[in-house]
Amino acid sequence: MENETDAFYRELPKVELHAHLNGSVSFKTIEKLISRKPHLNIGHDMTAIGKGQRRTLDECFQVFKVIHQLVDTEEDILMVASDVIKEFAADGVKYLELRSTPREDKNTGLTKKKYVETVIKAIQQCKSEGVDIDVRFLVAIDRRNGTDVAMETVKLAEEFMLSSDGLVVGIDLSGDPTIGDGKDLLPALQRAKNCGLKLSLHLSEVPSQLEESDLLLNLPPDRIGHGTFLHPEVGGSQSLVDKVLKHNIPLELCLTSNVKGRTVPCYSKHHFKYWYELGHPIVICTDDKGVFSTDLSQEYQLAAFTFGLSREAVWQLSQRAIDCIFAPDTVKQQLRQKWIDTQPQGIK
């Protein structure tokens, strides 16, 4: 049964800005997908990392490949996106930016364009059903796929930015950080920026990316995913930190993902502390709530417990995330009002 503390975090209105669609698929939805494709012989242990378990980053990326096998038709994408949106809403998320890498599949007739259209359809359907959440979409570039695919992805996102009634708001750069070079993706990212797409880039997820991070920070991106190894205490550099501070670029921080993926040794050593103490804008996110068996309420609770945050501090953290969203100012105003309307007594 939910206790009073759990209820506080569940009821806390929240903003989720770093959620990969196929990493966010819940146990329940995976079950439905498995029953649609029993011949694949996929078990739950292959699609999620349970409590207390940890994997290497490489093993985490293997998990996404398994989930991709289960999600390879328009019908699957529609169900997955719609379930994920409703689950975030049930967890008290009022504004969600979902991100996903468009895929094509010759066997099922899936095209990248259909992929994006289907995610948009799920967002629109949830809206028309009255689900209490504002959802936007970031089209993701998988760094593994190189220059041409990155450019093709940006063009696709550009097309949908103009035709989706504000639902497609930006580009995500993700994928295995040990593969590919960010330098090759610069022309595509620059184009995205020039045409008005916002940029959220995974930066310094592993220690070997200092040069690349320096280069990508010159764009500059609008938000940073993880940024685990940017600061000097973990082998990053003050000049990288200075660039982040100069451009005031918010960081999307995903505690459980980083601990389970072993890029951070334990919760108390998470770089949340470094950036929080600087007073820099940070947003607590889930990354892959399905794969890492978590949700956003739990992530807030974990941060509060680990770093001794008061309820007031937690409330401020969730409220300040509104400043970092990619949707326009009118949406920010609406969200700010929502926070004011639901603020519990005793929290200033």
Among 335, 277, 338, residue whose Cα is nearest residue 307: 277
Q: How many Å apart are CA 298 and CA 309, to the nearest integer? A: 14
Q: Compute the least distance from the CB of residue 43 to ligand 5GP, in Å.
A: 19
Residue 62 neighbours by CB under 8 Å, 6+ apart: none
With respect to ligand 5GP, which residue has the nearer C-beta, 153 or 319?
153
Among 85, 78, 72, 70, residue whose Cα is nearest residue 33: 70
Please report where in the chains the tokens 């937690």 appear, as a residue.
314
DSSP symbols for 231-263: SGGGT--HHHHHHHHHTT--EEE-HHHHHHTTS
Angle between helices 74-90 and 112-128 (to 10 degrees): 40
DSSP symbols for 155-170: HHHHHHHHHTTT-EEE
Any idea what DSSP says for residue 139?
Answer: E
Handedness of CA 258, 259, 265, 271 (dihedral sign): positive
Q: Compute the least distance from the CB of residue 80 to ligand 5GP, in Å.
A: 9
Looking at the DSSP bridge assignments, the partners of residue 16 are: 96
Q: Is 205 a catalytic residue?
A: yes
Q: How many Å apart are CA 78 and CA 75, to the nearest integer? A: 5
With respect to ligand 5GP, which residue has the nearer C-beta, 267 or 313?
267
With respect to ligand 5GP, which residue has the nearer C-beta, 263 or 301?
263
Q: Compute the least distance from the CB of residue 316 to ligand 5GP, in Å.
A: 26
DSSP symbols for 147-206: HHHHHHHHHHHHHHHHHTTT-EEEEEEES-TTSS-GGGGHHHHHHHHHTT-EEEEEE-SS
Binding site for ligand 5GP (CB under 6 A): 20-23, 64, 100-101, 140, 142, 174-175, 177, 202, 205, 257, 287-288
Q: Compute the least distance from the CB of residue 61 to ligand 5GP, in Å.
A: 6
List the catalytic residue out of 205, 212, 252, 299. 205
- Show the tokens assigned to 190: 């620059």
Q: How many Å apart are CA 165 and CA 143, to the nearest integer? A: 27
With respect to ligand 5GP, which residue has the nearer C-beta, 23 or 170?
23
With respect to ligand 5GP, which residue has the nearer C-beta, 193 or 289?
289
- The rounded radius of gyration (Å) of the Cα atoms in the chain is 19
Q: Which residues are tagged catalytic? A: 205
